[in-house]
Structures are given as C-alpha cells and as structure tokens.
A and B are shown apart, each in its own frame.
Chain A
C-alpha cells in the first residue's frame, strides 16, 4: 500500500507528479491512498511513493486534463482515487471519456461540473467593500466557496481588476493583489473583512427598485442564487421583505387607475367559472370618497339582470335599515364579495347558491382593487361570505358580529348579518328583534367609519 500526499487540497501539480509515478510503477488504483498535507494522516502501514522512475510521460487526452483541473478542486475526498483510476483506464482505452454513460466518467464529470458552477457563482457573488489605507483605495471581499476554488478563480479577478488593489478572504485561503502581483495568505474569518461600504446602500436601493413585484418567482431566484450564498450578499437581506410586500404592491400598482377603469376590466372577468351562466358582472357602486364600504355576498337574481348591487328584496330591506340607522346609502360604497350570480336552475327559477371558497378567493382580486382605490374608513361585512372574503378565513357570524374586527392588512372592519337572513326568519317577534339589532349595528359601523380618518 502506497500513499501520495498533496501540498494542498487543489494541488494539481502534486497530483500530476504522484499519478505519473504511480502509473510508471503500475500501482493499482486500490493500492494507492491519497492524502492532503495538514489533514492529520492516520498512522498506518502505507509507505510514501518512491521517486519518479525514468519513464515516458503517459499520454492523456486533453479533455482529461480539463476535467482534472476542475474535479481536483471538489471538496469530495473520492476525487483523487477517481481521477487516478480514470487515468489508469485511459491508458488501455484512450477514448473512454467520450462515453459519458460510463459510471466513472460520469462521476468525475459531475465533480467537475459542481466545481465549475461554484467557480461561476464566485465570480458572480464576491462583493468587494471599499476601504482606505496607506496605499490608497483597497477593495476587500469575504467569500465562502463550496469547493477549493480560490486558486482556480484568481485569474478572473486579475483580468478584471488588475488596476485596483484588492483582497479576497476565504476560510481556508486568502489572496491579495497589490496592483502588480498576487500574494497568497492564510485563511481568514468574516471579522477580518470590513463591515461597511459607502456605495452598498445605493446598491440595495437598486436591487429593490429593479425587482418587479408583479412577477414574483421565488423558486426561480433560489435555483440560481441558493440560500447558502445569501449571508455574504448585502442585497439578500432585503429578500424576505420584498417578497412579503409583493402581493400588496401589485394591487397598489393596478389600483393606480380609477374605479371606472377597474369596473370596465371586471366586466370581462373570467377568473372563475361563474361568469358562464351569469348575465353580467355586477360591480360595486357608490361615491369614490365613501367612508363606509358595504360588502355583501353576491348578486341575486334581480341584481344579475339589473347589473347593480343590492336592488332585490334583500337590497330593499338594507335600504330601509340604512335609512332607519340614519345612513345615506348614496354616501356609502356598496359591493359584493363575489361579482357574478351563482345559482341552480329549478324549472324556470334561478335559485341562489352560496359561492365556495375558491370563487370567493378568485374574486378577491376585484374586491382588493376596490378597497385599494377607495381606502374606506371601515369595511362593513354582511354575512359569512363577505367575512371569508375579507378576513381570509371561515367566520361564525353569530360569534363575531357587532364589534370592530381588524382586517389582515390592518384596516378597520365590522361584521354583521346579511339582510337576507332577516328575510328568512319566520317568527315575527324574532324578526323584529333581529332587525333592530341589525339597525343598531349599522349605526355603530357608520360611526366607526366616520371616526377612522
């Protein structure tokens, strides 16, 4: 058993010499152990390789050298025996590398590919910070590569930044360019790198502004910029916040228009299947500066035909109750959680059917835009469907009605029953009592809407 020892993990020169020696001595791959200096080699029976005997240099295809240059930088310890074993096999079959479906060729190619990717990512993600020292401006970066690639990559940074002084610090090795030559230095820690840079804040502004919140694709971003790099990218600390704001911002962006424009768009809405059987989209109506926004469930039979919200029996009852509560309906904005009539045909009659969660969710798009444009003081939710639309969860009206409820985005909300509920109560006394309670709650909501300035 022999042992070959490399000077450092990516020591291609050392590998070349050892491999040539072993090849000349016809040492089988499994009789050769590979080690790297300073890795604390175990005391065992392996003996160091003898000096290289006089023998002609083995012939290897160019592609092998290219693969080896990359693969040797891989962190995986099996890279060295694999490379040697491939070298041995290449002597007998020089065209072996053309066969990518060979398991060993495949394994080495994968090792090389991982290094190549890491090399590319380092070129992309090194971030210099500017400092001033006796020699003038000095650019210093802290970077944590996955593989042993600093030496492999140094040429790139020299070609690009030969006229400035810079240093790249990594955990196992550092490199300093003084404007003329490269100096290799020991590994460093993050604390050795500067913590501030005068331009970094401007870069972060750029990063946040060039992001288009209407096109959120977090997975695509992470595929190319894996999280392991984030901690050394100053701009990455903005990511969670940008994602969180994206949804809200898209709504804001579209809401730059007017209610009339949004309504015109909604008339052609096909976000859910309800547009098929219904006659038309019934959009909200009311003044654009309304303080009170009233949200019902969905248009009914008459609303569907008229194209206006709350004009059927429940709408008429709502009008009466609003009047009793001293509220001018023409000063409120009235709309529905779902903008198309959902029904079942029974003979010639269209029987109301409650919208399901998916339909409510689809229609949120329009409700959110109405809210973003109106910015009402209070959103009054009539019934469980409106509650679900605005609170984003199932609500029990009986338990939560009659008091202020904060909407998920912080706006003021208030829940009460839907007037159609009053129409369904058969006992006259109960109906009277319930109706009074409804009027009281309308009054309370209207007062809150005026307060919320």
Chain B
C-alpha cells in the first residue's frame, strides 16, 4: 500500500472522527506556563477557536489514531465492513500535529479516539502513549480528551486519567436491544463497567486532593458520553431517561446527543436520509431543563405525551402550555424555582430579576430591559402595571411560542 502523506492521513482521520459531537475544552483544572517552561494553559472556560459551516465549534484537534477497526457497528463509518479508505497515524505524528496547532493558537488541545486494532488493550496503550508523550516529553499543559476503548484493562484506564483532562466512553445507543442489534461486538455491561471504573477513580482522586494538595489529579474535567439519536427506535422519553440515569449513576459531566448522520456506505440496517437535527436540538433543551432548571423527568414526560418532544416548540414552552394554571407569575414575588420555569427566562436573567427586585418593585419596562425577548415572557408574568389577561388561555399563545422548524432543514 502506498504511504499516505500527513495531509492525506489527516483528511481521512479527521473526517472519521467528526461523528463524535463533543469538542468541549472547559471545566478542567487551571494550568499555565508562566514558569516559562512547557506549553499551554487551561483557564476553566473552554475556547472555540473556529466554527465549521455545520455550526459546530472547533476547540480541539479531533482525530482518530486509526480508522481501521475490528468491530462492525452498523452506525459507524469506520466499521470493519465499510469500504472507506483506511489510514493510521504514528504516535509521533499526533504529538507533533497537536503541538504545531497549539503553538499557532488553532486549538485548545487534543481529542484522540481510535478504531480498535489488534485488541482493546493494544489500542488503548497507543492512546495513552500519545498523552504520556505530550505531557511528559513536551510538558504540554493544554487540554487532552481521550476516548477510552471498551473492554480495556483497568490499569490502562488508571493511566489514561493521569494524563487526560477528560475521558469518555460512548454508550452509543439508548437501548440495550439497539446496541445488541447495531453494535454486536459491544455490550452494555462492559461499557457501564468502564464508566463505573472511571467514576471511581475520579471520586477517589478528588477525595485525595481534599486531604493532600499534591495528590495526583485524575481526569479533572470528568467523563462524558454520547448517544446516537434516530438510529434505533427509542423515543425521546426513553433517551432522556437513559441520560438521566447516566448523569446520576456515573456522574457524567455531559451526555451528548448525536443525530444520526447519513454516512458513506450506509448500511441498510439504518434509517435513511437526513439526520434529525431538530430532534437532537430538542433533546439538548430537555437535557438542560433537567440539569439547570429543576424539572424532573416525569414532569417533562407528562407535558409531552406520545413519547416524543414536540418539534415545533421547545420543551419548556410545551411544559408551560400544559401547566397554564400555574401562570401568570408575579415578577416581584414569585420564587426562583417558578421563575426558572417561565419560557424565555434562564438562570442568568432570573438572578438579575431576584437581585433587582430586592432593590425596588419591578414594572413592565424594567422586565423588558432585563429579558432578551419580552414578547415571549409577557404572557406568563405579572407586574404592577401589566397583566396578561386572556392571552394565557388563548390558542394564539401556542402559536406564538411555536418556532418555524424550517430553518434547520438542509434542502
């Protein structure tokens, strides 16, 4: 086989890695190189260095070590039976690409994953070796995200967390039967076993650091996972329930939802055509409601009958419409938990309202200055000089909250 040059390999291995949604570089330990040694810094807040025309942020050099794989997962472009072009980076090549990009301020660091070659352990060793070389030989202090390979040995997971900021292992599909059907070589028990091991190490290291400041860190940005949406029959409620379990059970920092993309050589086991981008968006919104807005899963499920989140309005608006009897709220008296439930009010604005009303009574004009879209929130709020009247009960309200879904479609 002719040798591919670096650019050709990069084209193949970046293309193969792009189906992983995560590109986060935030939430890790603070580091810098003010000692004039080493390279790089992390400051807590992630930085998106560029955006591709798919609207996704490019924060990390996201590549695979190789796209050859002994597994045959139906949703994955790199599966054994796919006829994509294969390539493989050497450890050195990944290290020098990362450093070269970082010095030019193109990226925050590296997100390295790989197809499985030879064995899980062999593959994981290679990934860990890249991270080790970056950290130990180049004193690299930027961000490293390693994908852990299912079924790899516990001591490799242990090592990986010493070098990486974040580790992740993908749950892939929301249902066990989906995984069994589409990814026959993977199994839920071993994936969850790895997640459990990671959680154990992360908690241990945090504990140790409370007692000894010099205790080594372990994946300070935690672990994350990804679920593919639309490749099996799971409905939105099932997906959210799965995510909820992952947040609670394994202390996930993030669960990513990836609308199944049509990928080259797509197998007939999968649904055709466009990825359900709007559905993915709604899932993220519901995910946010669960994590930051104090909603519970049964509440969301009760407001969105039929198993799916509505596509024509966001899930928070759907909940509010289903619970009209709770509104309008008095801006000057309503508790924080209730204000957070008003469509159009987020934690930031609610904090501003709470802080401003300690100062004086808020009138409509004040609210209009505080919120991003007054039109949206007005029907749900009450001020001394404003009351929504019949709007809350009218059919028109539903229509006003509906957003045109067309903008997200591709053709």
User: How many residues does chain A have at the interface if contact means C-beta atoms less than 8 Å apart?
Assistant: 76
Q: Is A220 an interface residue (CB 8 A)?
A: yes
Q: Within the complex, which residue of B7, B106, B367 is in contact with A201, where a contact is CB–CB below 8 Å?
A: B7
CB pair A162–B35 under 8 Å, yes or no, is yes
Measured CA separation A342–B259 after assembly (Å): 32
Task: Tell whether B125 is near chain A: CB-to-CB under 8 Å.
Answer: no
* Pair A160/B266 contact, Cβ less than 8 Å: no
Choose from B10, B36, B57 the contact partner of A209 (Cβ within 8 Å): B10
Q: Which interface residue of A160, A208, A262 has the most chain B CB atoms within 10 A?
A: A160
Chain A CB within 8 A of B352 CB: yes
Q: Point out the residues of chain A lying under 8 angstroms from B15, CB to CB.
A: 209-210
Tell me which residues from 296 to 317 in chain A have a Cβ below 8 Å from any Cβ of chain B.
Answer: none
Minimal beta-carbon separation of B362 from chain A (angstroms): 6
B358 within 8 A of A: yes
- State whether B54 touches A213 (Cβ < 8 A): yes
A246-287 interface code vs B (CB 8 A; 1 in, 0 out): 110010111011001110111000000000000000000000
Given A128-B104, A206-B10: A217 and B33 within 8 A (CB)? no
- B410, A159: Cβ atoms under 8 Å? no
Please state if A215 and B54 are interface contacts (CB–CB under 8 Å). Answer: yes
CA distance A124 to B100 in the complex (A): 16
Q: In the complex, are the beta carbons of B268 and A261 less than 8 A apart? A: yes
B-chain residues with CB within 8 Å of residue A130 when the two chains form the complex: 103-104
Instruction: Say yes or no for B97: interface residue by CB 8 A criterion.
Output: yes
Category for how many chain B residues contact A? 35 or more
Question: Distance in Å from the Cβ of A361 to the closest Cβ of chain B?
Answer: 8
Contact of B407 with A219 in the complex, beta carbons under 8 Å: yes
Looking across the interface, which residue of chain A has its beta carbon closest to that of B271? A265
- B374, chain A: closest CB distance, angstroms: 12
Which residue of chain B has the shortest Cβ distance to A243 in the bound complex?
A: B53
A68 to chain B, nearest CB (A): 19
Contact (A215, B261) CB under 8 Å given A103-B369, A209-B10: yes
Residues of A within 8 A of B303 (CB): none
Chain A proximity of B145: nearest CB distance (Å): 14
Secondary structure dominating the interface of B: loop
Q: Does A396 contact B (CB under 8 A)?
A: no
Interface assignment of B43: CB less than 8 Å from any CB of chain A: yes
Contacting residues, chain B, for A164 (C-beta < 8 A): 39, 103
Task: Tell me the bound Cα distance from A128 to B7 in angstroms.
Answer: 20
Q: Is B265 an interface position by the 8 A CB rule?
A: yes
A125, A126, A129, A162, most chain B CB atoms within 10 A = A162
Report Cα–Cα, A224/B50, bound state, in Å.
9
- Is A100 touching B356 in the complex (CB atoms < 8 A)? yes
Q: Does B101 contact A (CB under 8 A)?
A: yes
> Complex formed: what's the CA distance from A257 to B82 in Å?
10
Residues of B with C-beta under 8 A to A201: 7
**Is the pair B37, A163 in contact by a Cβ cutoff of 8 Å?**
yes
Q: Name the interface residues of A223-238: CB closer than 8 Å to any CB of B.
A: 224-225, 233, 235
The answer on a CB contact under 8 Å between A160 and B32 is: yes
Whether B47 contacts A210 by the Cβ 8 Å rule is no
> Do B272 and A262 touch (CB < 8 A)?
yes
Does chain B have a CB within 8 A of A172? Answer: no
Instruction: Flag whether A216 is at the interface (Cβ < 8 A).
Output: yes
Closest A residue to B359 by beta carbon equals: A99
If A159-B33, A365-B273 touch, whether A250 touches B410 (CB-CB below 8 Å) is yes
A161 cross-chain contacts in B, Cβ below 8 A? 33, 39, 103
Residues of B234-283 at the interface with A, using a CB-CB cut-off of 8 Å, are 259, 261-268, 271-275, 277
- The residues of A that contact B36 with a CB separation of less than 8 Å are 162-163, 179-180
Q: Which chain A residues border B263 with CB–CB below 8 Å?
A: 214, 253, 256
A126 touching B54 in the complex, CB below 8 Å, given contacts A95-B359, A201-B7, A205-B7: no
CB of B76, distance to nearest CB on chain A (Å): 13
- CB pair A98–B266 under 8 Å, yes or no, is no
* Interface residue? A239 (CB, 8 A): yes
Whether A211 and B53, one on each chain, are in contact in the complex, defined by CB atoms closer than 8 angstroms, is: yes
Task: Output the least CB separation between B262 and chain A (Å).
Answer: 4
Tell whether B17 is near chain A: CB-to-CB under 8 Å.
yes
Chain B proximity mask over A191-209: 1 for CB below 8 Å, otherwise 0: 0000001011111011111
**A221-B55 in contact given A100-B356, A130-B104 (Cβ < 8 Å):** yes
Cβ of B370 < 8 Å from any Cβ of A?
yes
Asked whether, in the complex, the Cβ of A212 is within 8 Å of the Cβ of B356, the reply is no
Decide yes or no whether A438 CB sits under 8 A from chain B: no
B58 at the interface (CB under 8 A from A): yes
Q: Is B38 an interface residue (CB 8 A)?
A: yes
Q: Determine whether the beta carbon of B40 is less than 8 Å from that of A221.
A: no
Cβ-based interface call for B209 (8 A): no
Question: Which residues from B are CB-within-8-Å of A242?
Answer: 52-53
Within 8 A of A (CB), among B328-379: 352, 355-356, 358-360, 362, 365-367, 369-370
Q: Are A257 and B268 in contact (CB under 8 A)?
A: yes
- Residues of A contacting B274 with CB < 8 Å? 214, 250
Q: Report the bound CA distance from A158 to B34 in whole Å.
A: 7
* Contact A253/B58 with A100-B356, A199-B100, A215-B275 known, Cβ cut-off 8 Å: no
- Over the window 118-133 of chain A, the binary record of Cβ atoms lying under 8 Å from chain B Cβ atoms (1 yes, 0 no) is 0010011111111000
Which A residue sits closest to B31, measured CB to CB?
A: A159
B265 touches A221 (CB 8 A): no
Q: In the bound complex, do residue B53 and residue A239 qualify as a contact, i.e. CB atoms below 8 Å apart?
A: yes
Instruction: Give A260 to B61 CA distance when docked, in angstroms.
Output: 38
With A159-B41, A210-B15 in contact, do A141 and B105 touch (Cβ < 8 Å)?
yes
Scan residues 370-411 of chain B and give those whose CB is less than 8 A from a CB of chain A. Answer: 370, 407-408, 410-411
Interface string of A400-417 (1 = CB under 8 A from B): 000000000000000000
Contact residue among A252, A257, A260 (Cβ-Cβ distance under 8 Å from B267):
A257
Contacts A98-B356, A202-B10, A216-B53 given; does A247 touch B410 at CB 8 Å? yes
A194 to B26, CA, bound (A): 32
Residues of A within 8 Å of B352, CB to CB, are: 100-101
Residue from A206, A220, A233, A361 in contact with B55 in the complex, judged by beta carbons closer than 8 Å: A220
Q: Which residue of B lies closest to A240 (CB)?
A: B53
- Best-buried of B11, B262, B355, B366 by chain A (most CB within 10 Å): B262
Q: Say yes or no: A265 contacts B52, CB within 8 Å.
A: no
Question: Known contacts A199-B101, A203-B104, A250-B410; is A98 also within 8 Å of B10 by CB?
Answer: no
Name which residue of chain A comes closest to B35, CB basis: A162
B62 proximal to A (CB < 8 A): yes
Interface hub of A213, A246, A247 (most chain B Cβ within 10 A): A213
Closest CB-CB distance, A92 to chain B, in whole Å?
Answer: 14
Q: Jot down 25 A-B pairs with beta carbons below 8 A, ordered by A.
A: A98-B358, A98-B359, A99-B356, A100-B352, A123-B47, A127-B104, A127-B105, A163-B37, A200-B104, A201-B7, A203-B104, A209-B14, A209-B18, A210-B15, A211-B54, A212-B56, A215-B261, A215-B410, A217-B277, A220-B51, A242-B53, A243-B53, A256-B266, A257-B268, A266-B272
A101-B369, A106-B369 known; 17 new pairs, CB 8 Å cut-off, are A99-B360, A100-B369, A100-B370, A141-B105, A158-B34, A160-B105, A164-B103, A199-B104, A203-B104, A209-B14, A212-B54, A215-B277, A218-B53, A242-B52, A254-B266, A256-B265, A364-B411
